[in-house]
Structure 1
Amino acid sequence: MNNSATARANILARLKAAPRTAVPERPEWQPPVYDADERVNRFASVIEASHAEVYHTSADAWPALLAEVMQRHGLDSLMYAPGTVDGQQVATAWGTLEQAPALVPYDRPVEELKDTLVNGVAAGLTATRAAIAETGSLVLWPTAEEPRLMSLLPPVHVAVVRAETVVDTLAVLMASQHWAQQMPTNVVLVSGPSKTADIEQTLAYGVHGPKELIVLIVH
């Protein structure tokens, strides 16, 4: 028997002779469960830690608050979807304000709006399907009326989150909304502004999408 075969035989013999030990039990992972207030606060704190700007507001007050926030940031225009509930509300509310950023409707084919989306508006407004407390994520459900480009191309993304749609985890959301029966072609999870890092781990914002994220939590 050559040296390699002898070494192999010795190793196998030691393995067979070794006493058997029980495999330690792994603790079963339990998903977090929050109450309503904890859930919203957890979501807000986690997405703020990822450099999002979060405001708590009411169903009637959020359009005026958004106008104030945008003016404070020097944002002079907002693209919105006129066929959505949020789009209609912001258009109606801003029409009564003395000062408000300009509203730019998403009301034409994307080929005609592409330059406006990239260079012609300061921010884009979208609704959210839900939000996830555990990871601090927005869940976007793009539609033909409010496509993904509205949250991707403008330099600032404004997202409206209803507090009652915040859930503990992604698994809870998928089960409660029956995603297996109604998955769209494009579900987007957003956990902060667009960011990337180079080989030296220098973080840069806005390279692949909006450099700022404003979240309005509507209670």
Structure 2
Amino acid sequence: MDTMSARARMLGRLRGAHTSPATSVEALDARIDAHFKARRSHAPLALDERIAQFERMLEAAHAQVLRATTSTWAADLAQRLEAAGVRRLLLDTACAEGKALTAALAAAVQTRDYAQPIEQWKAELFDTIDAGFTVARSGLAATGTLVVAPDANAPRTVSLVPPLHVALVYAHTLHADLHAAVAAERWYEGMPTNLVMISGPSKTSDIQQTTAYGAHGPRALWVVVVTDGDDETAAQHGVIR
């Protein structure tokens, strides 16, 4: 075998590939946008259809869904938490949703802010906190995925460490799919340093395909879908199914 000839042929192909016109990022983005827009145009989903699909996908992943209105969700969730035996709840009590839930909780349920470095209260966090409550930035109907942007008051630990994660998402923030969310929320203008996408409780399988929940995070996930008003549909679904 003529190794020099083989080397020359390989280098020639590389030079040819290098000098051929490269597809620009803008052109690639346009092709991707066109693909997803065309796919969604064939089967556009109204808001109620996005909510229903979002719920189906979450329930298929062993999450529980509570659909409620803006005026009922806090009381509905507080009742559910007490009935489930939650006694210590980690949440951001400074945000509007945290304040509403705190006000609705029974006296038996205590709240805890994430107000100090984890090194100073790791034992308390892992041993005594029953549930963590977060507010999702948005959701993806196609996969039943929560998009959560952690911050200093509600870091990723809130959704990761407690055995039960309770997430609230507003129905009007549900997107058809990831591409729709990226475009609508203009992610290209600046991504947060830590964006968490959650599609169910933590689960893993061993070599025998035995599924275990809670090995690497919460073993249970509740999702509260809040509608914009006291409409008839939401009133009919004001319980966890």
TM bracket (short chain):
0.7 to 0.9
One of 164, 186, 192 as aligned partner of 1:184: 192
> Residues of 2 paired with 1:183 and 1:173: CA distance?
13
Deviation (angstroms), 1:218: 0.7
Q: Give the TM-score taking structure 2 as reference length.
A: 0.74
Whichever of the two has the greater Rg, that structure is 1
> Residues of 1 paired with 2:153 and 2:85: CA distance?
27
Spell out, residue by residue over 1:134-176, the C-alpha distance to the aligned partner (whole angstroms, 9 max, x if none): 0010111111111000000000000001011111001110111
User: Is 1:74–2:85 an aligned residue pair?
Assistant: yes
Corresponding residue for residue 23 of structure 1: none
User: Is 1:48–2:65 an aligned residue pair?
Assistant: no
> Residues of 2 paired with 1:115 and 1:163: CA distance?
36
Is the contact made by 1:52 and 1:192 (CA closer than 8 Å) also made in structure 2?
Answer: yes
How many residues matched? 189
Spell out, residue by residue over 1:13-41, the C-alpha distance to the aligned partner (whole angstroms, 9 max, x if none): xxxxxxxxxxxxxxx67245311100011
Q: In structure 2, list runs of 5 or more residues that go unmatched.
A: 1-34, 228-241
What are the within-5 Å matches in structure 2 for residues 162-201 of structure 1?
162-201=170-209
User: Is 1:64–2:75 an aligned residue pair?
Assistant: yes
Is the contact made by 2:203 and 2:213 (CA closer than 8 Å) also made in structure 1?
Answer: yes
Is the contact made by 1:81 and 1:107 (CA closer than 8 Å) also made in structure 2?
Answer: no
Corresponding residue for residue 149 of structure 2: 141
RMSD of equivalent CA atoms: 1.5
Is the contact made by 1:82 and 1:107 (CA closer than 8 Å) also made in structure 2?
Answer: no
Deviation (angstroms), 1:83: 2.3
What are the within-5 Å matches in structure 2 for residues 144-163 of structure 1?
144-163=152-171
Is the contact made by 2:78 and 2:101 (CA closer than 8 Å) also made in structure 1?
Answer: no
Corresponding residue for residue 8 of structure 1: none
Corresponding residue for residue 205 of structure 1: 213
> Residues of 2 paired with 1:160 and 1:83: CA distance?
15
Deviation (angstroms), 1:100: 4.7
Please identify, of 182-191 and 198-207, the stretch whose mean Cα deviation from structure 2 is larger.
Answer: 182-191
Instruction: In structure 1, give the amino acid aligned to 2:186.
Output: H
> Residues of 2 paired with 1:38 and 1:169: CA distance?
13
Indicate the SS of the match to 1:131: strand
> Residues of 1 paired with 2:147 and 2:218: CA distance?
16
> Residues of 1 paired with 2:193 and 2:121: CA distance?
22
Instruction: Identify, as 1 or 2, the structure richer in helix.
Output: 2
Spell out, residue by residue over 1:110-130, the C-alpha distance to the aligned partner (whole angstroms, 9 max, x if none): 222322221111000000000
Q: Give the TM-score taking structure 1 as reference length.
A: 0.82
Instruction: In structure 2, give the amino acid aligned to 1:58.
Output: T
Instruction: In structure 2, give the amino acid aligned to 1:151.
Output: S
Please identify, of 115-124 and 201-210, the stretch whose mean Cα deviation from structure 2 is larger.
Answer: 115-124
> Residues of 1 paired with 2:124 and 2:80: CA distance?
22
Q: In structure 1, list runs of 5 or more residues that go unmatched.
A: 1-27
> Residues of 2 paired with 1:53 and 1:192: CA distance?
9
Give the percent of matched residue pairs that are identical in Structure 1 and Structure 2. 39
Is the contact made by 2:78 and 2:104 (CA closer than 8 Å) also made in structure 1?
Answer: no
